[in-house]
């Protein structure tokens, strides 16, 4: 069996860091990812993918990612359910991230992001419409 997903998108809001009762760090965030085609009205549609990260990677994500920053996520899709207080069963589909990489370009002040070594940063975003020099 194979359950693998790789996503690149922008965070819709700042990541939310919390801790489980046993002290495990958990961070939730949502990636906005444009589709590669336009709809009948000529507009691009966007998918909003919920992601969850655990332990040290959760703390890294909460400290170095922010709303609007571009990130790459490598992980797996997980479906879970829970029962609400009024007895209704709810289903949640989310990506459990094994790896998160910062992809946002340099800050407007010309400074590299302050991410620790081991994370990657691209110099600029490349559009499919850009003229590729190779």
Domains of the chain, residue spans:
5-34+43-102
b vs e for 12-44, b when ≥16 Cβ sit within 10 Å of the residue's Cβ? Answer: eeebebeeeeeeebbbbbbbeeeeeeeeeeeee
pLDDT, average across residues 26-50: 93
**pLDDT tens sequence across 56-109:** 999 999 999 999 999 999 999 999 999 999 999 999 999 999 999 999 775 654
Question: What is the per-residue pLDDT for 106?
Answer: 59
Question: What is the per-residue pLDDT for 121?
Answer: 35
Class of the CATH-defined domain 5-34+43-102: mainly beta
**Region for 37 from its dihedrals, namely left if φ exceeds 0, alpha if ψ lies in -120 to 50, beta otherwise:** beta
Question: What is the per-residue pLDDT for 25?
Answer: 96
Whether residue 132 is predicted with pLDDT greater than 80 in this model: the reply is: no
Instruction: Return the ∠ at Cα 111 (arms to 18 and 54), rounded to 5°.
Output: 20
Whether residue 113 is predicted with pLDDT greater than 90 in this model: the reply is: no
CB 73 within 8 A of CB 6: yes
Helix (H, G, I), strand (E, B) or coil at 64: helix
First to last CA, the chain: 37
Closest CA to 46 of 38, 56, 54, 58: 38
Whether residue 110 is predicted with pLDDT greater than 80 in this model: the reply is: no
Out of 52-56, 81-85, 123-127, pick the least confident: 123-127
Averaged pLDDT of the chain: 83
Q: State how far the Cα of 53 lies from the Cα of 55, in Å rounded to an integer.
A: 7
Whether residue 50 is predicted with pLDDT greater than 90 in this model: the reply is: yes
pLDDT, average across residues 19-38: 94
């Amino acid at each position: 069996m194979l359950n693998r997903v790789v996503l690149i998108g922008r965070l819709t809001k700042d990541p939310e860091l919390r801790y489980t009762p046993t002290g495990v760090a958990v961070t939730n965030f949502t990636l906005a990812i444009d589709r590669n085609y336009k709809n009948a009205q000529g507009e691009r549609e966007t998918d909003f993918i919920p992601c969850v990260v655990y332990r040290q990677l959760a703390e890294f994500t909460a400290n170095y990612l922010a709303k609007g920053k571009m990130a790459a996520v490598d992980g797996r899709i997980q479906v879970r359910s829970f029962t609400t207080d009024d007895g209704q069963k709810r289903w949640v589909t989310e990506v459990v991230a094994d790896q998160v990489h910062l992809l946002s370009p340099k800050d407007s002040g010309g400074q590299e992001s302050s991410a620790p070594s081991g994370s990657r940063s691209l110099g600029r975003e490349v559009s499919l419409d850009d003229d590729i020099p190779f």
